[in-house]
Amino acid sequence: MRLALNFLRGTKLKKTMKRTSIQAICAAILALTWGYLPHTANADGHARLMTSEDAVAIKRVRDPRISPDGNWVAYSVGGSDLEEDEGFGNIYMTSADGSQTLKMTGDEYSASSPRWSPDGSQLAFTASIGKDAKTQVWTLDMRGGAPIQYSNVKQGVNGFAWSPDGSGMLLVVKDAKPEPAEGEDEDTPKPWIIDRLQFKQDYVGYLDRRRNHIYVMEGRMGEERQLTFGDYDDSSPVWSPDGTSIAFVSNRTEEPDANVNSDIWVVRADTDADMPAAQRVTSGPNQDYAPAWSSDGQWIVHNTVTDAAAIWYATQDLAVTPAMGGNTRVLTAEFDRNFGSPKFMTGDTAILASVEHSGTQNLARVDVATGAVGIVHGGDISLRGFDLHTSGAVAGVISRPDLPGEVFMIDGDDARPISSVNNELMASLDLANVREVQYASADGTEIEAFIYTPPGYKEGTKYPTLLWIHGGPVAQYDFGFSTNAQVFAAQGYVVVLPNPRGSSGYGQDFSAAIFADWGTLPTQDVMAGVDHAIELGLSDPDRLGVGGWSYGGILTNYVITSTDRFKGAMSGASEALYTSFYGHDVYQRIWEAELGLPWENQALWDKISPFYKIGNVTTPTMLMGGKEDWNVPIMGSEQLYQALKRLGVPTQLVVYPGEFHGFSRPSFIVDRYQRYLDWYGQYVKGPEKASGGHF
């Protein structure tokens, strides 16, 4: 039976409807697609506890793409090589029935972004093959043979897509660096000359005026022809079905660095003009993005954010707009949940998209005429990307509490795994049991959390407990596999993963409740989660730890300046003195929209800065971060370390060279896990129990 979320046809949900009411409706009509079975020891008794090395051994399955004939699914697999101390990426393909899997790319280079040619004869991907090579498009002939280079762009390629007839490709290319002056060494360091409002980006560094633009290339190694121009970045290009036009996303306001008001634009691909003009399709007050064409080329479905004032707390709706421009019709305004990756289904009468709700990521169908939302495939899962075939077949990456993401063929209620990238590793591990709970915060607001209990958990035993807070703040813990929680649980901890106010998945009001106040309500919410674990008899109230990365570290700072209940803390990639980050991190647009300019509204900036309560901290706290992080720069950790050291609170600062906000070097990831465990082992378990194991 196909699951439905039509909410009794004709009934409309108000955006302000309480999430408990939405949950009640969903509970009445959602059934689990399958139950997950917590791991226990294998029949031979050799299952083992998860280690830090296992954490980096887990491979990441992404970007499933169904072949034109529907017989194969290509996908990328990323992982870490501890011996070489670097990451890798390969392209695989598996038959739709799951009976045969082929590794398509070699280990001497890293490949990603598989894309089938329209006739299915070639599989394209991006890779840097050769010493000091830039990323280019390569193709594999399905009859066999080595990869063949397709593009040869001097500065490399950032994205591509086959034309509908397979005769060429569109490319996303960043403007080339200026040629060095005569006699000037290209490798000689030069000063950065900065004149942009937004002048930094994590993983990039200082920004200049070079922008990403769209090109078309007629055939292999052909000359690239530029289609979009100007002091704007262009992204997410998609061909029209007839191959004459390309829809893309761009912020072309007077000062793009001052806002996030992106729109959908369309540019002709088949013109001989030197500078074809792009036509604006949408005109919303905030973000329009993720375009996809209808099969007749008349409509574009896309994400839209209508509440500009709510910035990143706003709901991400689905909308349709005429491809030639016109009135945008928002389809999901009454649902108040975030949708993503929309695609027209066959016949153009409905849209397939992911939907985020209450700790799940499900696959939804949205009726174009009525906006009615139905769940095509749901339950306690986390859908992490999908592809829709013209036949209606769907391939998606699905994760569960006991399963890192794998490729599944999805047919309504049924989902059949066809990849098994991590099966051998998972089968060897004795994993934590996971329970999803709801509890009341201090003001009665219902909060959802996931609680992991250690392998070998004994009923009635109270365990040392870690409160681990997610980043964002607009994000959610869901039913997907949590590597962090599994590593901690394997060392004998109960792990509490709450979704406090500010999280997504529960509606805009729930998310925006922390607007201009990141600490007060979320601190109440996460502390109530710890109390709930204690009330359930799982947690030892005298052995509590707290931590998180990014916003998880930021909220950790609020927690330790508000209470002395925690014996140990880890604040990763965090900040506490907000005024000092203005002009230093990448968030000038968000800071101004949420707090105002610091010299005009200093009282509010100071009010939300936990740094001014640092004298309250008694919790031994480790600070961590990447030296090159410009998302949440290491300066925040340095300031906290200096203050705690001055106060005599046990502390340690760990700075990882060459790392950005998210780490990539495998040995550093393992090192970070071990430092987590050592710190919590010393201060939460106590010195005599710091070696790990069951407690």
Q: Cα(312)–Cα(333) distance, rounded to whole angstroms? A: 16
d(CA 172, CA 526): 42
DSSP 8-state symbol, 584: T
pLDDT-derived band at 26 (thresholds 50, 70, 90) equals very low
At 190 the pLDDT is: 84
Average pLDDT value for residue range 565-577: 97
Per-residue pLDDT at 42 exceeds 60: no
For residues 249 and 288, the answer to whether their CB atoms sit within 8 Å is: yes
Among left, alpha and beta (phi > 0; psi -120 to 50; other), residue 150 is alpha
pLDDT (tens digit per residue) in 496-515: 999 999 999 999 999 999 99
Of 117-121, 178-182, 340-344, 473-477, minimum mean pLDDT range: 178-182
Nearest-angstrom CA–CA distance, 427 and 643: 46
Give me the mean pLDDT over the 247-262 stretch.
93
For residue 38, pLDDT beyond 50: no
Residue 13 has pLDDT above 50, yes or no: no
Residue partners of 418: CB distance under 8 A and separation at least 6: 73, 94, 95, 96, 97, 98, 395, 407, 408, 409
Q: What is the mean pLDDT of residues 240-263?
A: 94
Please check whether the domain covering 426-689 is classified as CATH 3.40.50.1820: yes
pLDDT at 11: 28
Is residue 528 predicted with pLDDT exceeding 90? yes
Decide: 234 and 259 in contact? Cβ < 8 Å: no
Q: What is the pLDDT of residue 519?
A: 92
Is pLDDT of 9 > 60? no
Q: Residue 183: its pLDDT value, please?
A: 73
Pairing of strands 224-226, 212-217: antiparallel
Structure confidence at residue 658 (pLDDT): 94
Range with the poorest average pLDDT among 330-334, 461-465, 586-590, 615-619: 586-590
Predicted local confidence at residue 125, as pLDDT: 97
Judge whether 515 and 560 are in contact, CB under 8 Å.
no
Each as own residue / partner, the long-range contacts of residues 138-141 (CB below 8 Å, 24 or more positions apart, any chain) are: 138/111, 139/220, 140/91, 140/104, 140/105
Q: How confident is the model at residue 46 (pLDDT cuts 50, 70, 90)?
A: low
Query: Across residues 215-225, what is the average pLDDT?
Result: 94
Q: Are 138 and 125 in contact (CB under 8 A)?
A: yes
What one-character DSSP code corresponds to residue 304? Answer: E
Q: What is the mean pLDDT of residues 137-141?
A: 97
End-to-end CA distance of the chain: 45
Order of all β-strands in the sheet with 539-549: 433-440, 446-453, 494-499, 463-469, 539-549, 568-572, 621-626, 651-656
Mean local confidence (pLDDT), 276-285: 88
Inform me whether the pLDDT recorded for 50 exceeds 60. Answer: yes
Answer yes or no: are the C-beta atoms of 72 and 66 closer than 8 Å.
yes
Which of the two residues, 135 and 688, has the higher pLDDT score? 135
Do the strands 60-66 and 72-81 form a parallel or antiparallel pair, or are they unpaired?
A: antiparallel
Report the predicted TM-score, pTM, of the whole model to 2 decimal places. 0.91
User: Among 192-196, 243-247, 370-374, whose mean pLDDT is lowest?
Assistant: 192-196
Give 272's pLDDT tier (boundaries 50, 70, 90): low
Which residue in this structure is represented by tokens 């906000």?
A: 661
Q: How far is CA 164 from CA 245, 249, 279, 298, 416, in A?
A: 11, 20, 21, 16, 30
Lowest mean pLDDT among 29-43, 167-181, 287-301: 29-43
What pLDDT does 282 receive?
96
Count other C-beta atoms under 10 Å from residue 35's C-beta: 8
Q: How confident is the model over 314-335, as a mean pLDDT?
A: 95
Write the DSSP string, 329-374.
EESSTTT-S-EEEEEEPTTSSEEEEEEEETTEEEEEEEETTT--EE
Q: pLDDT digits over 423-433, tens only?
A: 999 999 999 99
**pLDDT exceeds cutoff 90 at 632:** yes
| Mean pLDDT of the 388-393 span | 95
Average pLDDT over residues 523-540: 98
Amino acid found at 338? N
DSSP for residue 1: -
| pLDDT above 70 coverage of the chain, percent | 91
Residue 111 has pLDDT above 70, yes or no: yes
What is the mean pLDDT of the segment spanning 516-525? 95
Per-residue pLDDT at 690: 44
CA-wise closest residue to 254 among 207, 197, 210, 310 = 197
pLDDT higher than threshold 70 for residue 115:
yes
What residue has token string 């939405």? 22
What average pLDDT is seen over the chain? Answer: 90
* Element spanning 528, H or E: helix 520-535
CA distance 654 to 675: 9
Higher pLDDT, residue 76 or 201: 76
Query: Which phi and psi angles does 593 have, rounded to 5°?
Result: -70, -30
Tokens found for residue 120: 């299915």
Domain ranges of the chain: 426-689
